[in-house]
A and B are shown apart, each in its own frame.
Chain A
Amino acid sequence: MEFKELDPILHAPLRLAVISLLLSVKEAEFTFIKEKTNSTAGNLSVQISKLKEAEYIEVTKQFRDNYPLTICKITPRGVDAFENYVKALQSYMHPGEL
Chain B
Amino acid sequence: MEETFSKQESLKIIEQMIKTAKNEHREKGEGWLLWGWLLFIASTLSAVLVQVRLSGYIGWVWTAMGLLTFISFLWELRAKKTQAVKTYVEELLEKFSTGFLISLFAIIAATSIAANVNKDDSGQSIAFAFGYFFILYAFWMYIHGSAIRFKPLIIGAIVNWAAAIAIFIVKDFKYAMIISAVAVAVGYLIPGYMLRNLYKKSHKS
Identify A11's interface contact among B10, B81, B87, CB under 8 A.
B10
* Size category of the binding interface on chain A: 20 to 34
Identify B84's interface contact among A12, A20, A26, A32, CB under 8 A.
A32
B9 to chain A, nearest CB (A): 7
Considering the complex, give the chain B residue whose CB is closest to the CB of A16: B13
In contact, A23 and B85 (Cβ under 8 angstroms): no
Query: For A27, what are the chain B residues with a Cβ–Cβ distance below 8 Å?
Result: 85-86
Secondary structure of the B side of the interface? helix
Query: For B21, what are the chain A residues with a Cβ–Cβ distance below 8 Å?
Result: 21, 23-25, 36
In contact, B18 and A16 (Cβ under 8 angstroms): no
A residues 1-48 in Cβ contact with B at 8 Å? 6, 11-13, 16-17, 20-21, 23-29, 31-32, 36-37
User: How far is A89 from B3 in the complex, measured between Cα atoms in Å?
Assistant: 18
B residues 60-80 in Cβ contact with A at 8 Å? none
User: How far is A34 from B90 in the complex, measured between Cα atoms in Å?
Assistant: 21
Q: Say yes or no for A64: interface residue by CB 8 A criterion.
A: yes
**Using a Cβ cutoff of 8 Å, how many contacts connect chains A and B?**
70
Given known A-B contacts A13-B5, A21-B21, A28 and B86 have beta carbons under 8 A apart: yes
In contact, B14 and A64 (Cβ under 8 angstroms): no
* Size category of the binding interface on chain B: 20 to 34
In contact, B18 and A24 (Cβ under 8 angstroms): yes
Q: Say yes or no for B20: interface residue by CB 8 A criterion.
A: yes
User: How far is A92 from B11 in the complex, measured between Cα atoms in Å?
Assistant: 12
Per-position contact with A for B1-39: 1 when CB-CB < 8 Å, else 0?
Answer: 011010101110110111011101100000000000000
Q: Say yes or no for A98: interface residue by CB 8 A criterion.
A: no
In contact, A28 and B7 (Cβ under 8 angstroms): no
Q: Say yes or no for A86: interface residue by CB 8 A criterion.
A: yes
B171 to chain A, nearest CB (A): 45
In contact, A20 and B14 (Cβ under 8 angstroms): yes
Q: State the A residues within 8 Å of B (CB).
A: 6, 11-13, 16-17, 20-21, 23-29, 31-32, 36-37, 64, 85-86, 89, 92-93
